[in-house]
């Protein structure tokens, strides 16, 4: 990715050098090239000419640039390395990295699932509510970890978020039918799964329960 950006930046600088735009336009175009290049811009040493007088700013101008090979070598030498700073005294780097990945998973699970459960933001004032909030977040993480392990065994490549998005489209509905004697017949039904949902349920080995039987309310006076 860095190589592609550097080639694109180099071609753009050569194009601007050939066009020799006016001084103000040159600054704008170089700014756009810098924004597109990102960190790669630091590998190129761009030398702008001295700003011309006000009367001569309509003239075309040029600039010079070169590749800073020392910075490029330094950047290449740091590729593939990740600096992890910690107060742990664990001597095994692999163990420290494992703890870091676990911490990242826990933070992602807390952030994502607390949002799905709509329990944030909550401003607590009592200690028991703080503890309840932490307990709910911990249950959410346990659910996330359990689903992730199930997907790892039965549906590799599928994330928990993707599974929740697919199955979350199913709904449970209560359908009410009034009767002539003032009562109400209630059917509790879940929507039939679509093809994608059926494939996911089959892959996980899950079967939906039978639709629950209807209920009927007590008789009451019929309003005329």
pLDDT digit string (tens) for the chain, length 224 residues: 778 888 888 898 888 888 888 878 888 888 888 888 888 888 888 888 777 676 655 667 778 888 888 888 888 777 766 677 778 776 787 888 888 888 887 777 667 666 655 556 677 788 888 888 878 877 877 888 888 889 888 888 888 888 888 888 888 899 999 888 888 899 999 988 999 999 999 988 889 889 889 898 886 654 43
Half-sphere exposure of 9 (CA within 13 A, CB side): 26
Residue 162, domain member (yes or no): no
Would you tell me how many other CB atoms lie within 10 Å of the CB of residue 13?
Answer: 19
Task: Please give the pLDDT value at position 40.
Answer: 85
Residue 87, domain member (yes or no): no
174-183 burial by CB neighbour count: b if 16+ within 10 A, else e? eeeeeeeeee
- What single DSSP character describes residue 186? E
- Rounded (5°) CA angle 137-121-146: 20
d(CA 57, CA 54): 6
Is residue 7 domain-shared with residue 69, that is, in the same domain? yes
Is residue 139 domain-shared with residue 176, that is, in the same domain? no
Please state the separation of Cα 215 from the chain's center in Å.
43
Is residue 122 domain-shared with residue 148, that is, in the same domain? yes
Is residue 177 domain-shared with residue 198, that is, in the same domain? yes
The H-assigned helical ranges of the chain are: 2-19, 23-37, 69-77, 93-116, 127-154, 160-167, 195-204
Task: Please give the pLDDT value at position 224.
Answer: 38
Q: What's the pTM value of the predicted model, to 2 decimals? A: 0.46
Task: Please give the pLDDT value at position 125.
Answer: 81
Greatest alpha-carbon span in the chain: 95
Residue 164, domain member (yes or no): no
Structural domain boundaries, residue 176: 169-216
Query: What is the phi/psi pair of residue 176, to 5°?
Result: -105, 130
- What single DSSP character describes residue 42? G
Task: Please give the pLDDT value at position 135.
Answer: 85
């Amino acid at each position: 990715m860095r190589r592609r950006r550097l080639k694109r930046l180099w071609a753009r600088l050569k194009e601007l050098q050939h066009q020799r735009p006016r001084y103000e336009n040159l600054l704008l175009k170089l700014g756009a090239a810098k924004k597109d290049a990102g960190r790669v811009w630091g590998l190129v040493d761009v030398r702008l000419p001295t700003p011309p007088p006000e009367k001569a700013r309509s003239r075309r101008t040029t600039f010079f640039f070169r590749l800073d090979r020392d910075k490029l070598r330094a950047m290449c030498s740091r590729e593939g390395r990740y600096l992890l700073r910690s107060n742990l005294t664990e001597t095994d780097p692999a163990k420290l990295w494992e703890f870091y990945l676990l911490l990242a998973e826990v933070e992602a699970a807390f952030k994502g699932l607390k949002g799905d459960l709509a329990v944030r933001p909550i401003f607590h004032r009592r200690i028991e509510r703080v503890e309840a909030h932490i307990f709910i977040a911990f249950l959410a993480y346990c659910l996330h970890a359990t689903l992730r392990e199930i997907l790892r065994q039965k549906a590799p490549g599928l994330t928990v978020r993707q599974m929740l998005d697919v199955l979350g489209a199913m709904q449970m509905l209560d359908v009410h039918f009034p009767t002539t004697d003032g009562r109400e017949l209630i059917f509790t039904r879940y929507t039939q799964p679509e093809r994608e949902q059926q494939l996911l349920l089959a892959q996980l080995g899950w079967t939906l329960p039978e639709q629950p039987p209807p209920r009927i309310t007590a008789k009451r006076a019929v309003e005329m």
